[in-house]
């Protein structure tokens, strides 16, 4: 059993019977959702990190960039999420320009809403945001094609980027993506980029990387790496999910895996609800220990299914058929601004202790980032 947590802590043996009576407390008067006081306190009192929680999925300039409405600002505050890893994928010949625009656009949005957000430079900013009643924003990118060479890693770090995936789903110069037919692993160039990321203190993310590329990255990196948003292939055979071997390799270096609520990564059949999502957390805990489990929702507060119809269909059409989208993309119970309360409620129902839940909600990713960032 991992240091710092014994079986009594994980199973909640020192805690009274789980309090899951939804009629006990309503965190937002207009939401209609009610949770046990213990659930609300766990979310409100702890650091909650969504390690792939974009501020908005629809980040077209006309949709993303203005000052938040009072209602939208209230949703962010009520969500209980302290840290959002705001990250997008860029690729192709304009990857560098697109990445620069993404960072600039995020900076403008946060600046216009500085009463609600602040951009993260170091881990202590999490505490600063929590104390001020704001949310901290980690700037990341879900590919590394914007790096023209190892020197670019330092440049983008100076611009605010704190996390980068090595690949998206496809092959690039660094390695192979999860939906490629053949995975050749991390290239010599990819190794140079990993070294540069380690040197400046940028987190290496392998969420969309293929199996061999994930294993290579875990081996080559001198610092812990992350799977910020993926699920367990032992529970669903999907190319975006990680094998037990990959999860063990990342955990062996001190890494953390964030479980996602994307429906087709959670379960292959219906129903697909937040309980099935927590099944993946259970699997990680049993496989490698409580300190390697976290959350990476891979969505904004409302999820994908509320997108405008044209954007929704365009998004689904941009992926290979192996993604196996069904009628909905979001997982039931994890598709609304208070989703972290629903997930915490399920963890309580499964007898996780307060200490274990605090670690899953954000403590584990905080530790990882503290070990990775300079």
Report percent pLDDT > 70 for the chain.
92
pLDDT tens track for 294-323: 999 999 999 999 999 999 999 999 999 999
Asked if residue 2 belongs to a domain, the reply is: no
Q: What is the DSSP string of 274-317?
A: HHHHHHHHHHHHHHH-GGGEEE--SB-SS-STTS-HHHHHHHHH
Range of the domain at 230: 7-372
Q: Is the pLDDT of residue 47 over 70?
A: yes
Asked if residue 185 belongs to a domain, the reply is: yes
Find the CATH number of the domain harbouring 296.
Answer: 3.20.20.140
Q: Can you list the positions of beta strands (E) in the chain? A: 49-50, 83-88, 117-119, 135-141, 161-165, 203-205, 226-230, 256-259, 293-295
pLDDT tens track for 124-149: 999 999 999 999 999 999 999 999 99
Number of residues assigned to the chain? 374
Asked if residue 173 belongs to a domain, the reply is: yes
Asked if residue 220 belongs to a domain, the reply is: yes
Q: What is the DSSP string of 34-52?
A: -B-HHHHHHHHHS--EETT
Asked if residue 1 belongs to a domain, the reply is: no
pLDDT tens track for 199-219: 999 999 999 999 999 999 999
Asked if residue 108 belongs to a domain, the reply is: yes
Asked if residue 309 belongs to a domain, the reply is: yes
Q: What is the pLDDT of residue 26?
A: 72
Q: Which residues contact 168 (CB under 8 A, 6 or more apart)?
A: 89, 91, 142, 143, 177, 208
Q: Per residue, what are the HEC states of 134-188?
A: CEEEEEEECCCCCCCCHHHHHHHHHCCEEEEECCCCCCCCCCCECCCCCCCCCCH
Number of domains in the chain: 1
């Amino acid at each position: 059993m991992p240091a710092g947590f014994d079986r009594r802590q994980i199973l909640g043996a020192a805690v009274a019977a789980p309090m899951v009576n939804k009629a006990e407390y309503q965190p937002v008067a207009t939401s209609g959702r009610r949770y046990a006081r213990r659930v609300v306190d766990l979310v409100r009192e702890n650091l909650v990190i969504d390690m792939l929680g974009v501020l908005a999925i629809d980040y077209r300039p006309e949709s993303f960039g203005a000052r938040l409405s009072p209602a939208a600002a209230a949703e962010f505050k009520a969500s209980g999420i302290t840290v959002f890893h705001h990250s997008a994928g860029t690729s192709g010949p304009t990857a560098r320009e697109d990445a620069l625009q993404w960072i600039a656009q995020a900076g403008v949005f946060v600046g216009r809403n500085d009463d609600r957000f602040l951009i993260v430079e170091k881990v202590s900013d999490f505490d600063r945001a929590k104390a001020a009643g704001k949310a901290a924003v980690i700037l990341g990118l879900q590919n590394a094609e914007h790096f023209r060479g190892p020197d670019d890693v330092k440049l983008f770090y100076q611009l605010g980027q704190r996390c980068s995936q090595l690949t998206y789903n496809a092959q690039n110069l660094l390695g192979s993506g999860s939906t490629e037919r053949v995975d050749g692993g991390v290239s010599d160039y990819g190794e140079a980029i990993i070294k540069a990321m380690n040197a400046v203190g940028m987190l290496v993310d392998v969420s969309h990387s293929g199996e061999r590329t994930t294993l290579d990255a875990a081996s080559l990196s001198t610092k812990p790496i992350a799977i910020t948003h993926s699920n367990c292939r032992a529970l669903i055979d999907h190319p975006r999910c990680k094998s037990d071997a990959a999860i063990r390799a990342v955990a062996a270096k001190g890494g953390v895996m964030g479980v996602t609520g994307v429906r087709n990564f959670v379960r292959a059949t219906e129903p697909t609800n937040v309980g099935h999502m927590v099944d993946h957390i259970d699997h990680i805990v049993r496989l490698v220990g409580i300190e390697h489990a976290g959350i990476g929702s891979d969505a904004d507060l409302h999820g994908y299914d509320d997108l405008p119809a044209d954007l929704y269909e365009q998004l689904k059409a941009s992926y290979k058929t192996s993604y196996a989208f069904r009628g909905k993309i979001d997982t039931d119970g994890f598709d609304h601004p208070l989703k972290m309360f629903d997930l915490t409620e399920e963890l309580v129902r499964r007898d996780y202790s307060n200490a274990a839940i605090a670690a899953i909600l954000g403590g584990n990713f905080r530790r990882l980032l503290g070990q990775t960032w300079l």
